[in-house]
Chains A and B, each alone.
Chain A
């Protein structure tokens, strides 16, 4: 049947900010869905609070709402847009939960659910109903029961027997869930789980720890045709959240009979749950000794695994699911890659490995043991012709400094401990153990990682041990090592250690070239070469068979390589992928062939139809170089993928690659402190006093010269990794000991810390003659908090026109002076009326998507055009859809249309037990949201609602301030009292308020007895918390209060500046009667 004509307007719900468990895979699925629906002629209305997504670009939907994803807002949108149907299965758990909640409350009457009906969603998501359904169709399930109180939970656990798994109902990525081995541990877990669950429900289950874990990606159409797109096997056995597990595709340790049993079960489950159309994911566990198969769960929606399965096979699950949702059947859809029908099952002739990316280094107190609650922030995928090649390529893709299996320096006890304990680097310990001669059986007993994988590791160890310098002239030995995925850098390292040499990665490359062992490229074609692939989606391999070099057909087409940002991590996320995608779009606009290069399966950039050619490869010199040598692109864009590709600029220039736009030399100048300082002084601009230290003594000398406090950080990092504010010699000494070990001989940068300064962020584009100021943004939090973690306002709220003009002048001076061609981001601090330059980045910044959305000028596209055609004015004219650009001013800028956009950061604290929610110079946020309205207060309110920090219009306010902030107690207190809030405060702050004449009630600190503030928070008496106390002044008390606030969903703020903004927000909320009025982006920009 063709598409449905009885529906006209479809609401697509996005997944909101990037958080642990919901990353850019839902931008990928949502973008595919929006695009598909639009092509079919439906009117698409989109809601997503995340401005860094491609789907929220104004051209992807007819009406784009960058608004908080709340029930009230959605209800309003449905009404004002006359929505007929909603598609809630593309925006992760966020979209599904809000749609279901609205359905349950009767807020969606007359609105049809596309994809999965509410009953099916409920059956799939509710453990009771799901288990019932599974029993009905004869599926084996683990023993389990639900509990609603700790007492009840303890009883259940006793019956089932330890270890048990506890799972909180209706939470994302297993929040509040875990494994317990004893009663004591379980009690704690049950408590957290019941609190985390919105319905205070936990499920307690028989543990299948150590069992094998599988996932099946299933698609069903309305005619009940079902297919498996991909089977996925977890390298880590049961006990680790599948998002945190290393996974491979296809499943490798099942016979056909076992695999088909799982396939049959998947279909049976989909049918019973009643998922009408679209993609679902079913997870199974198999006892390795008996083959007993148990259903773990199913997701009646597109998931992170669907994104992986799509990228792994080339089969576009989200697109197909969207077509099915509006009436098509599988056999009516064409597989774009081969031109054959989509009603088949993809097969692959390579092995796919996914390895998650963690950032525990940013949360030193968080527990780094992997359990059933997801903790990773991103992932990489790689493809190779064998498991070995695929796995080692994945290690290279991670960008954690690995070039393969690095040696681990630890004692035998530690080794055993780290193999037994699931952790981010367990695979390295396993390899190390095998290298030291531990048997596969021993490692298996400790880890329960299937022996098949361990055999592969053992064989790689054998290859490694056979390597020495003589292999460099032996084509066959090189070929074997390379085909097992050993990188050039790794081979150099192994030979150096063995033969005491100092070979470089380049030496290995040269040796290979000499004997003709090079990387070759295979297509990802959904069909293992049975049919010809129409879309060039490629991965590299070293062929085991020496074949004559394939002729690359010469073409006159101009082509440009865009290097992506790799795995999502804190500091480098979806914002950079957004820029890379825009680069590809802009290249298409110029008629230039785009070549995308990335290794992150969650992204839009790695969608096969984003670019003309796609390379799914590790972003390291060896692999990038090989693609450049093959494709010989007319330009290489390294400026959009964050620090990852930027780092390669120098080496790529050295091999003759043509870097488009800003040159490697300029990039280097901006990164080199000494050179840059000289440059700044020549321009007559101010910088905080600073220095670069290569050793501890040097650092101390510099710090004492410029005076404490100082800001210290290693050079060449993104997201403020390792950055800290240091107040005295002792702190600095400690830091230097840690930092130098962190950054391998790279120097440490020391800057004077400007206290209470206001930070500004500027994004600009330069073509060498003209400059366009994308925007000046004012940070809400004061200098000292990482810009990525700070909320910011566009336009600035409290900076004079004059200062702003000066900032624009300086930006233009720097851009032209440096010789930037393309994007540039500068951070300034306004300190006592003076402008200081904090940082200059000659590349796309994290704020580019936010600015593009808020102003309507797509900065990354304009920049790409400038980088290739060199004419900024022309590029701006080309992309100025909304007539925003003021071409009359010498330094061009957007004419803002009266609205204010606020960006707010979103943090992972609730996903990382043990971590503290205090902000500092090191970035900790995983994502961002945007609030937009006609006033700063309302935009700030929207940004808070979007990040689930629901500002109350009235109620009790709890204030606790640090000594430094106490002078502001009166000002803050008065603002809220005037707004009708009642204030409670702990002794010190209470006194400060009293002195300022602001009434407040004193409450006990936790350490002072009971009832105390913690009790009040838990009893739901506190509506809003302002808590600026840091760990220095009140240590554990402050941390406990913050965690209590977090787990009880009390709105909270941790800085004076944010408190001020909150007061403005409250005022606006009171004026609007608590309503957030959604308005489409298209209307703001028009």
Chain B
């Protein structure tokens, strides 16, 4: 394996070994504490522009397969692991993670102390970094990093959103027979794709909604007219990468949908955009929530759900002026779920579609279907 150098914005230079794609790449570095599901994370469009540090030390163990792709491609800049496994062992494995990353142009970085990195991010917050198999000089790395745009400056939605509309076909994945269900649908919705995960689509379909996925650039008028013509029952606002505050066009689009009383459900970025469009700007968390073990309390039922999380931004507490908090994160008491007071809009910050992660929040899709 080739040598790769990492330079972090805080001035730390580290050496490691390279797998996956080679080259030089700049992105924001975050850590994810999930024990399983590296393939889903790698192919989650929300990670566009980011390097993901896995705290799980052994990565690559189970290889990769078609069903575990959360989108057609891998969108993160790179992954950082303690110990990459070149030879997977799992009956569903079709190719190695290395093969996938090479094909997708994603850098793999291994043989590095991921715990050390995690502690830096925990203590100092998420930051920008550069990784290179070509450049190893600290000063040179620093200057490339400093001259590169920061994650907040890039609209990654443009890169990950679908260019064409399409109807999603599959329902939930049946883990007993290892096939996708083909459920009957009674409702019809539009999903605005800001980088949507495949399992969100599966879950929406599984909850009885026919989903038409449309590009982020879709006009408000076209959606509102279809809603008013009762061609669709509601709109789903997807997850996606980057800073929600820079997505001015989407804010405007959503404001119009709100005004038209279109029932909406947002997850993660969709949840944040709803808040911003209501006039409540998001703020950036120190190192975000990325993992599959955060306890979230459902305020309505009192139940605690262990949730899948992946976000660096959060809605502000004063959103309660227009919405009711339905879910709270028990780790840091941040808002995880909302129902807006005067409109048929609900949203969650965590990922009820999991993939990877626990399944207990999946009921939220049914709640959305019931709201339509």
Give the Cβ gap from A383 to chain B, nearest Cβ, in Å.
Answer: 11
Interface string of A334-361 (1 = CB under 8 A from B): 0000001101111111110000000000
In chain B, positions 81-116 with a C-beta closer than 8 Å to chain A are 82-83, 85, 87-92, 111-116
Give the Cβ gap from A106 to chain B, nearest Cβ, in Å.
Answer: 37
Contacts of B62 in A (CB 8 A): 253-255
Known: A252-B58, A255-B62, A530-B291. A331 touches B178 (CB 8 A): no
Q: Do residues B355 and A344 form an inter-chain contact, with CB atoms below 8 A?
A: no
Give the Cβ gap from B241 to chain A, nearest Cβ, in Å.
Answer: 20
In chain B, positions 282-305 with a C-beta closer than 8 Å to chain A are 291-295, 297, 302-304
Complex Cα gap A290–B357 (Å): 22
**Pairs across A and B, CB under 8 Å, 26 listed:** A223-B303, A224-B303, A251-B36, A253-B61, A254-B62, A255-B68, A256-B355, A260-B175, A260-B356, A291-B178, A293-B176, A340-B331, A343-B304, A344-B295, A344-B330, A345-B358, A347-B292, A452-B61, A452-B88, A522-B115, A528-B33, A528-B56, A543-B116, A544-B112, A545-B112, A545-B113
Complex Cα gap A531–B286 (Å): 12
Known: A264-B359, A343-B295, A346-B293. A255 touches B58 (CB 8 A): no
The 9 A-B residue pairs with the shortest CB-CB distance, nearest first, are A256-B37, A256-B356, A528-B55, A452-B89, A545-B113, A261-B175, A256-B36, A345-B293, A349-B55
Q: Do residues A331 and B83 form an inter-chain contact, with CB atoms below 8 A?
A: no
Q: Do residues A385 and B57 form an inter-chain contact, with CB atoms below 8 A?
A: yes
Q: Do residues B175 and A386 form an inter-chain contact, with CB atoms below 8 A?
A: no
Verify if A263 is at the interface (C-beta below 8 Å from B).
Answer: yes
Q: Which of A224, A340, A349, A386 has the most B CB atoms < 10 Å from its CB?
A: A349
The chain B residue with its CB closest to the CB of A287 is B91
Q: Do residues B306 and A349 form an inter-chain contact, with CB atoms below 8 A?
A: no
Verify if A250 is at the interface (C-beta below 8 Å from B).
Answer: yes
Complex Cα gap A255–B60 (Å): 10
Contacts of B303 in A (CB 8 A): 223-225
Q: Do residues B92 and A344 form an inter-chain contact, with CB atoms below 8 A?
A: no
The chain A residue with its CB closest to the CB of B330 is A341
Interface string of B227-238 (1 = CB under 8 A from A): 000000000000
Query: Chain B interface mostly helix, strand, loop or mixed?
Result: loop
Q: Do residues B58 and A254 form an inter-chain contact, with CB atoms below 8 A?
A: no
Interface string of A129-153 (1 = CB under 8 A from B): 0000000000010000000000000
In chain B, positions 6-60 with a C-beta closer than 8 Å to chain A are 14-16, 31, 33-37, 39-40, 55-58
Verify if A554 is at the interface (C-beta below 8 Å from B).
Answer: no
Interface string of A460-496 (1 = CB under 8 A from B): 0000000000000000000000000000000000000
Known: A255-B92, A452-B88, A528-B118. A351 touches B58 (CB 8 A): yes
Q: Do residues B358 and A263 form an inter-chain contact, with CB atoms below 8 A?
A: yes
Complex Cα gap A264–B362 (Å): 12
Contacts of A452 in B (CB 8 A): 61, 85, 87-89
Verify if B354 is at the interface (C-beta below 8 Å from A).
Answer: yes
Contacts of A254 in B (CB 8 A): 36, 62, 90
Q: Do residues A527 and B87 form an inter-chain contact, with CB atoms below 8 A?
A: no
Contacts of B85 in A (CB 8 A): 452, 455
Known: A451-B89, A528-B55. A349 touches B114 (CB 8 A): yes
Verify if B173 is at the interface (C-beta below 8 Å from A).
Answer: yes
Complex Cα gap A255–B303 (Å): 27
> Count the B residues whose beta carbon is within 8 Å of the partner chain — how many?
61
Interface string of A365-409 (1 = CB under 8 A from B): 000000000000000000001110000000000000000000000
Verify if B163 is at the interface (C-beta below 8 Å from A).
Answer: no
Contacts of A259 in B (CB 8 A): 35-36
The chain B residue with its CB closest to the CB of A386 is B83
The chain B residue with its CB closest to the CB of A329 is B304
Give the Cβ gap from A823 to chain B, nearest Cβ, in Å.
Answer: 40
Contacts of B65 in A (CB 8 A): 255
Verify if A289 is at the interface (C-beta below 8 Å from B).
Answer: yes
Give the Cβ gap from B327 to chain A, nearest Cβ, in Å.
Answer: 13
A interface list, Cβ under 8 A from B: 140, 223-225, 227, 231, 250-261, 263-264, 267, 288-291, 293, 329-331, 340-341, 343-351, 385-387, 450-452, 455, 522, 527-532, 543-545, 547
The chain A residue with its CB closest to the CB of B123 is A532
Q: Do residues B111 and A260 form an inter-chain contact, with CB atoms below 8 A?
A: no
Q: Do residues B118 and A385 form an inter-chain contact, with CB atoms below 8 A?
A: no
Contacts of B56 in A (CB 8 A): 250, 347, 349, 528
Known: A256-B36, A452-B85. A529 touches B58 (CB 8 A): no
Question: Of B67, B89, B293, which one neighbours A450 at CB under 8 angstroms?
Answer: B89
Complex Cα gap A350–B31 (Å): 15
Complex Cα gap A267–B306 (Å): 12
Verify if B122 is at the interface (C-beta below 8 Å from A).
Answer: yes
Question: Of A267, A343, A387, A545, which one neighbours B58 at CB under 8 angstroms?
Answer: A387
Q: Do residues B14 and A252 form an inter-chain contact, with CB atoms below 8 A?
A: no
Verify if B72 is at the interface (C-beta below 8 Å from A).
Answer: no
Complex Cα gap A261–B31 (Å): 25
Contacts of A349 in B (CB 8 A): 33, 55-57, 82, 114-115, 118
Extra contacts besides A331-B297, A543-B116 (18): CB < 8 Å: A223-B303, A252-B58, A253-B62, A254-B62, A256-B354, A289-B91, A290-B91, A291-B178, A345-B358, A451-B87, A452-B85, A452-B88, A452-B89, A522-B115, A530-B122, A531-B331, A543-B113, A544-B82
Verify if B182 is at the interface (C-beta below 8 Å from A).
Answer: no
Question: Of B14, B87, B331, which one neighbours A344 at CB under 8 angstroms?
Answer: B331
Q: Do residues B57 and A260 form an inter-chain contact, with CB atoms below 8 A?
A: no
Q: Do residues A386 and B57 form an inter-chain contact, with CB atoms below 8 A?
A: yes
Contacts of B16 in A (CB 8 A): 545
Contacts of A345 in B (CB 8 A): 292-293, 306, 358
Question: Of B58, B111, B173, B330, which one neighbours A257 at CB under 8 angstroms?
Answer: B173
Verify if B119 is at the interface (C-beta below 8 Å from A).
Answer: yes
Q: Do residues B36 and A331 form an inter-chain contact, with CB atoms below 8 A?
A: no
Contacts of B357 in A (CB 8 A): 256, 260
Contacts of B68 in A (CB 8 A): 255-257
Complex Cα gap A157–B114 (Å): 52
Q: Do residues A347 and B55 form an inter-chain contact, with CB atoms below 8 A?
A: yes
Q: Do residues B306 and A227 form an inter-chain contact, with CB atoms below 8 A?
A: yes
Give the Cβ gap from A466 to chain B, nearest Cβ, in Å.
Answer: 15
Q: Which of A330, A347, A387 has the most B CB atoms < 10 Å from its CB?
A: A347
Contacts of B57 in A (CB 8 A): 349-351, 385-386
Question: Of A255, A291, A455, A531, which one neighbours B87 at CB under 8 angstroms?
Answer: A455
Question: Of A225, A260, A331, A450, which one neighbours B359 at CB under 8 angstroms?
Answer: A260
The chain B residue with its CB closest to the CB of A225 is B304
Q: Do residues B55 and A341 form an inter-chain contact, with CB atoms below 8 A?
A: no
Complex Cα gap A509–B360 (Å): 50
Contacts of B297 in A (CB 8 A): 331
Complex Cα gap A345–B358 (Å): 10
Give the Cβ gap from A699 to chain B, nearest Cβ, in Å.
Answer: 52
Complex Cα gap A363–B33 (Å): 46
Q: Do residues B33 and A347 form an inter-chain contact, with CB atoms below 8 A?
A: yes
Known: A256-B356, A260-B358. A288 touches B58 (CB 8 A): no
Complex Cα gap A983–B118 (Å): 75
The chain A residue with its CB closest to the CB of B56 is A349
Give the Cβ gap from B354 to chain A, nearest Cβ, in Å.
Answer: 7
Complex Cα gap A330–B359 (Å): 19
Q: Do residues B33 and A255 form an inter-chain contact, with CB atoms below 8 A?
A: no
Complex Cα gap A250–B61 (Å): 12
Complex Cα gap A343–B298 (Å): 13
Contacts of B55 in A (CB 8 A): 347, 349, 528-530
Q: Do residues B90 and A347 form an inter-chain contact, with CB atoms below 8 A?
A: no
Complex Cα gap A532–B304 (Å): 23
Q: Do residues A256 and B40 form an inter-chain contact, with CB atoms below 8 A?
A: yes
Contacts of A329 in B (CB 8 A): 304
Contacts of B39 in A (CB 8 A): 255
Give the Cβ gap from A285 to chain B, nearest Cβ, in Å.
Answer: 14
The chain B residue with its CB closest to the CB of A385 is B57
Contacts of B175 in A (CB 8 A): 257-258, 260-261
Q: Do residues A347 and B35 form an inter-chain contact, with CB atoms below 8 A?
A: yes
Give the Cβ gap from A156 to chain B, nearest Cβ, in Å.
Answer: 27
